[in-house]
Amino acid sequence: MSNIHPSAIVSPNAKLGENVVVEPFAWIHDNVEIGNDCWIGPHVIIYDGARIGNEVKIYQSASISHQPQDKKYNNEETFCFIGDKSRIHEFATIHRGTSGTGKTTLGKSVLIMAYAHVAHDCVIGDNCILANAVQLGGFTQVDDWAIIGGSVPVHQFVKIGKHVIVGGGTKIGKDIPPFIMAAGEPIKYYGLNLVGLKRRGFTSDQLEKIKMIYKIIYDSHLNFSQAKEKLMNEMPEDIFAKEVINFMNLSTRGLIGK
């Protein structure tokens, strides 16, 4: 049984799950699917192509699945997926995909704070946090458990690895490999995200391993391709090394420096 305020506009073609609350003056368009137990705040507008999971909360005046800010976009049908238990705060804007990938995707339990922007074709993993006024360019990839501090602009096509934490107020123009802290002007490697990794149950042995990997990448005198080769030779079976090497192979904008 859904609870829709009489002043809200909900298209009869939209599919709403059980127990969805739609607050006053919200507007839900035709081609929209919303799961169970969601809360849609006042003045929120959800446009065509939105596919929203269960227990999602969307706060006042947020704009979900609107047309991409991309001149190439030509009204093709594209989507915006939002995973279960995610929270999207006031005035955040999340655009749907372009024909580039066809969709913008947010994982589960993602927290998007007020004024943040997620552009077309972005992919955000599970448990990520984007603090206030973070502005993601198109095609940005943010992997699981990454946290981006407030007011950070992110260049399009940037990749941010798992468990990364980025200091507030920095600018991101290059890829940030997994498990690390990044901050400064220009943005650079600041050691491992030890606090985050410990909170998520990484053992000291695992942390030592990851530290060794980043010593080779950032604290030897090797360039990135030499460091990659060294990792492949010295730690060929290590899962973390494999993950970091894989990230380096997929990087298109190059890694941040030290």
Considering only 27, 73, 115, 224, the residue that binds another protein (CB under 8 A) is 115
Q: How far apart are CA 14 and CA 22, in angstroms?
A: 13
Considering only 28, 38, 113, 182, the residue that binds another protein (CB under 8 A) is 113
Considering only 132, 140, 141, 193, the residue that binds another protein (CB under 8 A) is 132
Catalytic residue among 48, 121, 144, 175: 121
Q: How far apart are CA 42 and CA 60, in angstroms?
A: 5
Considering only 2, 11, 36, 61, the residue that binds another protein (CB under 8 A) is 61
- Selected range binding another protein among 77-85, 149-157, 195-203, 246-254, rule: CB under 8 A: 149-157
Q: Does 168 bind another protein (CB under 8 A)?
A: yes
Q: How far apart are CA 3 and CA 39, in angstroms?
A: 10
Sign of CA dihedral 30, 35, 36, 41: negative
41 is catalytic: no
Q: How far apart are CA 156 and CA 120, in angstroms?
A: 10
Q: Does 185 bind another protein (CB under 8 A)?
A: yes
Considering only 13, 15, 18, 24, the residue that binds another protein (CB under 8 A) is 24
Q: How far apart are CA 245 and CA 235, in angstroms?
A: 11
Catalytic residue among 138, 149, 161, 196: 138
Count, residues near another protein per rule CB under 8 A = 27
Across 79-122, the runs of DSSP E, i.e. the strands, are: 79-82, 87-88, 93-95, 103-106, 111-112, 117-118
Q: How far apart are CA 21 and CA 34, in angstroms?
A: 11
138 is catalytic: yes
Cβ neighbours of 110 (radius 10 Å): 25
- Selected range binding another protein among 68-76, 84-92, 204-212, 227-235, rule: CB under 8 A: 84-92
120 is catalytic: yes
Active site positions, annotated: 120-121, 138
**Residues that bind another protein in the complex, under the rule CB under 8 A:** 7, 23-25, 41-43, 59-61, 87, 89-91, 111, 113-115, 131-133, 149-151, 168-169, 185
